[in-house]
Amino acid sequence: MSMNKKVTWGIIVIIIIVIAVSGVFKKDQGNQISIGLISPLTGSAASYGEPAMQSVLIAQNEINQAGGILGKKLNLIVEDGKCDGATSATVANKLINIDKVNVILGGHCSTETLAIAPIVEKAKVVIIASITSSPAVTNSGSYIFRNSPSSEFYTAKSAAYAYSQGYRKVAALYENKDFPVGVYKAFLAEFVKLGGQVISNDAFNSDVNDLRSYILKINKQKPDAILFASQGAGASVTFYKQMKELGLLSTYPIIAGAQSLSAAINDQSGGLLNNPRIFTTDAFVSSANSKTAAFIEAYKTAYKQLPPTNIAYLATSYDAVYLVKEAMESCKSSTDTVCIKNYLAAIKDWNGAAGSLTLGSNVNPVVPIGLHYFDSKGQEMWQELK
């Protein structure tokens, strides 16, 4: 057989395979509705990214057991964004161009969401980010939503609480990632407005594992308190341990970023957070809410125990799936993203596992906020703030 004939037959075979695969793919797509999920499943942010993904799976299973969406099975396509912008952009393009999804849940980290926002806006694909809180996400596009609060919203309450405790001079130390930078900027704006002063600010790279030079620099300045914000548990544990090694952990009150105070961090640091003067503010959920209690029970049933992270992150991730379901059913379409986004933008006083939610089109939802700390005996404490 000549080379030209071999090439021709090769092309024909490829075409036949493509047609066959396409036929199967279209058939499967006709029986299901696929949505994407981008979450940090590896790296330090996995401490909340993985439980958030598990919460989404609970919602998917519940919805499918109840008949799906528009009579079709819900199919979740999970991608690891690694809390990395380049990775998140790659998997977002894959979800949109190969998997043909019309809705993406996530990212579950500000860096992920900011990377995929321009991609989904151009493609007219809806995203709902259930943990992302960077102020930079605000007004990032008409197809971008989040059902978690902006750090401007809840960090302003940290600044107000710190000021109410008599702190007037604060030194800031934060990781050079989108979320921690957002925490610093939000705290600075509110604290200065109240009459406080941020006397220094230092940003460290994510690969830095020795913060003692920064801590010693802060100690020389003798602030009333320290603002510390990181992307995940690793840098936070390092900070608290090195503060302890230097004999300064009991010297300074610490205003923590929301990702720098959790049961996981307290366990990994050997209980170093057992001090009410180490506190943060964050999205707050109450088990008195029947939907919250039902979700917590469903999570415990599925995974045996609750993870050592803020339950609000899990509840908002769970709620996001039901928001998608409700929007698609109202629009009578899983592909009309203009209708879906308009429906979401009009959400007001919606009650879910995370409590009351008002979305709006500026990506700054209104949700309950709580003061979060551990008492001296190691009991995790939450106090809703008005």
pLDDT at 195: 98
Are residues 213 and 263 located together in one domain of the fold?
A: yes
**Do the domain assignments include residue 10?**
no
User: Does 22 or 358 have the greater pLDDT score?
Assistant: 358
First-to-last CA distance in the chain? Answer: 81
Residues 180-211 have pLDDT tens digits of 999 999 999 999 999 999 999 999 999 999 99
Residues 330-345 have pLDDT tens digits of 999 999 999 999 999 9
Are residues 304 and 211 located together in one domain of the fold?
A: no
Report how many domains make up the chain. Answer: 2
Q: What is the CA radius of gyration of the chain?
A: 23
Taking residues 264-290, report their average pLDDT.
94
Indicate the helix (H) or strand (E) that contains 225.
strand 225-229
Does residue 292 sit in helix, strand or coil?
helix
Confidence of residue 361 (pLDDT cuts 50, 70, 90): low
pLDDT, mean over the chain: 90
Are residues 230 and 214 located together in one domain of the fold?
A: yes
Are residues 258 and 350 located together in one domain of the fold?
A: no
Residue 361, token pair as written in the block: 């089109």
**Do the domain assignments include residue 21?**
no
Residue 187 makes CB contacts below 8 A (sequence gap 6+) with 155, 156, 158, 159, 170, 172, 198, 227, 255
Taking residues 358-375, report their average pLDDT.
85
**Do the domain assignments include residue 20?**
no
**Do the domain assignments include residue 6?**
no
Query: What does the alpha-carbon distance between residue 106 and residue 113 come to, in Å, rounded to a whole number?
Result: 6
Residues 148-157 have pLDDT tens digits of 888 888 999 9
pLDDT at 29: 52
Are residues 239 and 378 located together in one domain of the fold?
A: yes
Are residues 380 and 242 located together in one domain of the fold?
A: yes
pLDDT at 12: 40
pLDDT at 8: 43
- Contact of 131 with 114, CB cutoff 8 Å: no
Angle, helices 212-221/233-245, rounded to nearest 10 degrees: 60
Does the pLDDT of residue 278 top 80, yes or no? yes
Confidence of residue 3 (pLDDT cuts 50, 70, 90): very low
**Do the domain assignments include residue 17?**
no
Are residues 171 and 244 located together in one domain of the fold?
A: yes
Residue 307, token pair as written in the block: 């993870």
Does the pLDDT of residue 292 top 90, yes or no? yes
Are residues 251 and 312 located together in one domain of the fold?
A: no
Q: 79 lies in which domain range?
A: 27-150+287-369
Task: Determine the distance from the C-alpha atom of residue 100 to the mean position of all C-alpha atoms in its chain, rounded to a whole number.
Answer: 23
Residues 97-127 have pLDDT tens digits of 999 999 999 988 889 999 999 999 999 999 9
Are residues 278 and 296 located together in one domain of the fold?
A: no
Type of residue found at 336: D
For 106-120, 207-221, 301-315, 360-374, which range has the lowest pLDDT when averaged over its residues?
360-374
Are residues 380 and 250 located together in one domain of the fold?
A: yes
Taking residues 308-315, report their average pLDDT.
91
Kindly state the percentage of the chain with pLDDT values over 90: 77
Are residues 237 and 380 located together in one domain of the fold?
A: yes
Look up the CATH number of the domain holding residue 238: 3.40.50.2300
**Do the domain assignments include residue 143?**
yes
Give the other-Cβ count within 10 Å of 345's Cβ. Answer: 16
Give the other-Cβ count within 10 Å of 304's Cβ. Answer: 7
pLDDT at 13: 40
pLDDT at 133: 83
19, with CB counted inside 10 A (0-12, 13-18, 19+), is exposed
Helices (H), 31-169: 46-65, 85-97, 110-123, 151-164
Residues 18-56 have pLDDT tens digits of 333 333 333 345 799 999 999 999 987 898 999 999 999
**Do the domain assignments include residue 130?**
yes
**Do the domain assignments include residue 16?**
no
Are residues 238 and 337 located together in one domain of the fold?
A: no
For 41-50, 75-84, 310-319, which range has the lowest pLDDT when averaged over its residues?
41-50
Query: What does the alpha-carbon distance between residue 257 and residue 184 come to, in Å, rounded to a whole number?
Result: 8
Q: What is the 3-state secondary structure (H, E, C) of 261-281?
A: CCHHHHHHCCCCCECCCEEEE
pLDDT at 232: 83
